[in-house]
Amino acid sequence: MSVILAITFIFCIIFGRFFYIQIVWGKDLVWRATDQWNREIPVIAERGAISDRNGQVLASNRTTYSVFVRPNAVENAEYASTILAGALGLDAPEVLEKLTAKKVSEITLARQVEKSDIEKLASYGVAGVYYARDNTRVYTYGEALCQVLGFTSSDGSGVSGIEKYYEDILSGTNGEIMYTTDIVGVETEDCKIVYREAVGGDEVRLTIDIDIQLAAEDAIRAAYAATSAKKVSCIVIDPDDFGVLAMANYPSYDLNDVPRDDAQTLNALTRNAIVSDIYEPGSTFKIITAAADIEEYLRGNKNAFSTSYIFNSSRTRSVGGTTIKCWSDHANGKHSAQTLAQALNNSCNPCFTDIALALGTETFYDYLTAFGLGNVTGIDFSGEALGMLVPQSLVRDCDLARIGFGQTVAVTALQLACAATAAVNGGKYYSPHLIKSVVSSDGKVVEEYESVLKQQVISEKASRILAEMLEGVVTEGSGKKAYIEGYKVGGKTGTAQKYEDGHIASGKYVSSFVGFFPADDPQYLALVIVDEPQGSYYGSTVAAPVAREIFEDIIKIKNIQPYGD
């Protein structure tokens, strides 16, 4: 009986093994066997284009070729290496070493080779050499939008920016050319060739308006030259849905000539500061503080200040052992007694200290959170920074007082632009985005982005009141250099000292201006940041004129008529 059981057991093992090999492992074994007798040359899929919101192509492809070699099929390695090196501009000894390497069935010798070079190489008829189409990325506008678009590697995959973020959409699916060979990789006499077509990637259509983008780039390039700044950045947002119309940083680089050999320079120039870098915003942050105060007053909070309230005329406030001063000496009655609107016009720090302290940590932090501070916005772009916000449990009165006018808090330009947009667009905070839609190769829209309303941060009434006040900043306050005759422009200036190693960096400032128009129905909002301008460093004199220049260009581009026409 035991013998029968043993035989049965052994039979079951053998049967199970056969079943595993035939059924479970069968397909893989067939593929391995087929692979030994077939060789494949990849056919690179055409990478999807990147375009702006109007379909203007920003990134496309130029057809080039990859060169492959089957060492076992090469008849004369020395001759082949000489021909290949000469045609492709390679080092002959290195090519020879690759051709004579053992246990290598195929090598990729070169990518992105021009058609003329392939024709020259093909004329020699070197055995064992094969060619397949690949793509060389071409960027229509060179430097424009370089930190946003990003670039691709030599094998055509996205390395940074939109190219990397939407790699799955842009890359498509590669095809192949398969043909039969003998065991050492030489084509057989009755070679059968099978072609599997590549499927091209889809087009990614952005929210960017290339005309506005170019206008923004021209403006910040001029500002960089005029101020000898370390860096100048600008973002333009559509207040209706937080679609990014322009995003620019200068210095920049040419996407068609990426400095790949200098890693340090490449990292610095490709970094999208608007999304990835944080800074202390200074007085542009007062927009958020004012919005919180107006909304709380409308809600009946007795600690909030009314729009007619006259703030203490003293130019200083003593909070937690620290003294907060206004930039003005308040001499001769200069903005000594003022309403909230006048405090915005004059950018008087003590008034916003009063607001933050009056609202209290819990209420004020509720608004900071609602306006997206201390968290990512969720934009479709890699490397977004969180910003820096003192944890609510650790906030002291002196911290809260300084946060009220834009110190002791750090934001990304994107965070501040989104917060300011929500403050003046009726109180709606949307998810900012760079993608508008995905379009197939035959021109059909595969996917349309739908704006996502995250929350209503303040009421429409509070937003209208604030927007009107900020229009006053431009018509009669610190933002006068952003004024455009015949157009309702609102905004707020900012000038912040920079910190290095926890201490104020002498003579180093960040000058900024956030502006929008038309003030009574915002269609465009721009934030301009000038990092370490030399000479004049006030946001009112350095950044506001840049925003005005961008707005004037938008008015021309979109043929926007003056107010009242």
Catalytic residues: 283
Query: DSSP letter string over 364-422?
Result: HHHHHHHTTTTS----SSTT----EE--GGG--HHHHHHHTTT-SEEEEHHHHHHHHHH
**Closest by CA position to 404, among listed 489, 343, 333, 459:** 343
Dihedral sign for Cα atoms in the order 539, 541, 543, 545: positive
DSSP at 166: T
d(CA 410, CA 374): 8
Number of residues written out for the chain: 565
Radius of gyration of the chain, Cα coordinates, nearest whole angstrom: 31
Task: Show the 3-state SS of 239-272.
Answer: CCCCEEEEEEEECCCCCCCCCCCCHHHHHHHHCC
Give the whole-angstrom CA distance, residue 153 versus residue 140: 18
Cα–Cα dist 106/39, whole Å: 9
- Using the structure block, give the residue that is written with the tokens 């059909």: 444
Q: Give yes or no for a contact between 182 and 188, defined as CB atoms under 8 angstroms apart.
A: yes
Distance from CA of residue 494 to its chain's centroid?
Answer: 24
Residue for token pair 């906030």? 395
Judge whether 413 and 273 are in contact, CB under 8 Å: yes
Angle between helices 286-298 and 460-476 (to 10 degrees): 140
The letter for the amino acid at 77 is A
User: Using CA atoms, how far apart are residues 206 and 214, in angstroms rounded to an integer?
Assistant: 15
Decide if 321 contacts 398 (C-beta within 8 A): yes
User: CA–CA separation, 368 vs 288, rounded Å?
Assistant: 8
Please provide the distance, in angstroms rounded to a whole number, between the alpha carbons at the two ends of the chain.
Answer: 106
Q: Where are the beta strands (DSSP E) in 142-255?
A: 175-180, 193-196, 203-206, 231-238, 243-250
For every residue of 302-365, DSSP letters joined together read TTSPPTTPPBP--SEEEETTEEEE-SS--GGGTT-SB-HHHHHHHT-HHHHHHHHHHH-HHHHH
Q: How many CA atoms lie within 13 A of 159 on its CB side?
A: 17
Report how far residue 273's alpha carbon sits from residue 251's, in angstroms, rounded to the nearest whole number: 11
Q: Which residues share a beta bridge with 450? A: none
Q: What is the DSSP letter of 124?
A: T
DSSP 70: -
Coil, helix or strand at residue 550: helix
